[in-house]
Structure 1
């Protein structure tokens, strides 16, 4: 199984290197359209290789997706945390009611356990 995993990640690395080599040309990324930049007399642009823009876009998209999913699952994690605390409290209560031999200290519970 590890061999398949290593082969998969090796293939992914090879594809990323090939994409990077095929897209080495310099491109200009602009934060706003040229007409608006001329109107405001600012030109926020940057020049970088195309593969950097591609990989940065994929990385930013992954980060946004992970953040969105983390926020979406917040109620589920909150409920699991609450249920975990409740289970811990019940285990502690059960341990205090038992004398360590498995027999209950409570008379009513001892009668129920005998039957």
Structure 2
């Protein structure tokens, strides 16, 4: 399984390098539309592959954050169930200890 992961990472690396080499021309990245910018215009000249990779990384990061938030309820429920199981196991051990049959038959008759 480790080799499959390494092969997948190598393929992704090759695709990223090819994307970077194929998209080296500069593009103007404007943070506001020209009609809304007013006096101050925020814009930067960047290579196209940087814009694409940053956008992809932001999308992956946002996906991870949203997934983490979605799974928070399941993690909380699992934690609560783990505490309940530990409590019930302690109760079970206490009841077994308290109600266990005596080892000696003579003592059992005396009780």
Q: Which residue of 1 aligns with 2:99?
A: 106
From 37, 47, 50, the counterpart of 2:48: 50
Q: Which residue of 2 aligns with 1:81?
A: 79
What is the Cα deviation at residue 97 of structure 1? 3.4
TM-score computed with the length of structure 2 as normaliser: 0.80
The structure number with the bigger radius of gyration is 2
Q: Deviations over 1:26-80 (max 9, x none)?
A: 111111111222xx20101112111111011011111111111111222211111
Q: State the alpha-carbon separation in 2 of the partners of residues 65 and 3 from structure 1.
A: 26
Secondary structure of 1:34's counterpart equals coil
Q: State the alpha-carbon separation in 2 of the partners of residues 14 and 49 from structure 1.
A: 18
TM-score computed with the length of structure 1 as normaliser: 0.77
Q: State the alpha-carbon separation in 2 of the partners of residues 2 and 82 from structure 1.
A: 34
Q: How many residues align?
A: 101
Q: Which residue of 2 aligns with 1:101?
A: none
Q: State the alpha-carbon separation in 1 of the partners of residues 40 and 78 from structure 2.
A: 51
- Residue 25 (structure 1) aligned with residue 25 (structure 2): yes
User: Structure 1 regions of 5+ residues with no counterpart?
Assistant: 99-103, 111-115
> Which 4+ stretches in 1 moved above 4 angstroms?
none
Q: State the alpha-carbon separation in 1 of the partners of residues 74 and 88 from structure 2.
A: 21
Root mean square deviation of aligned Cα: 1.7
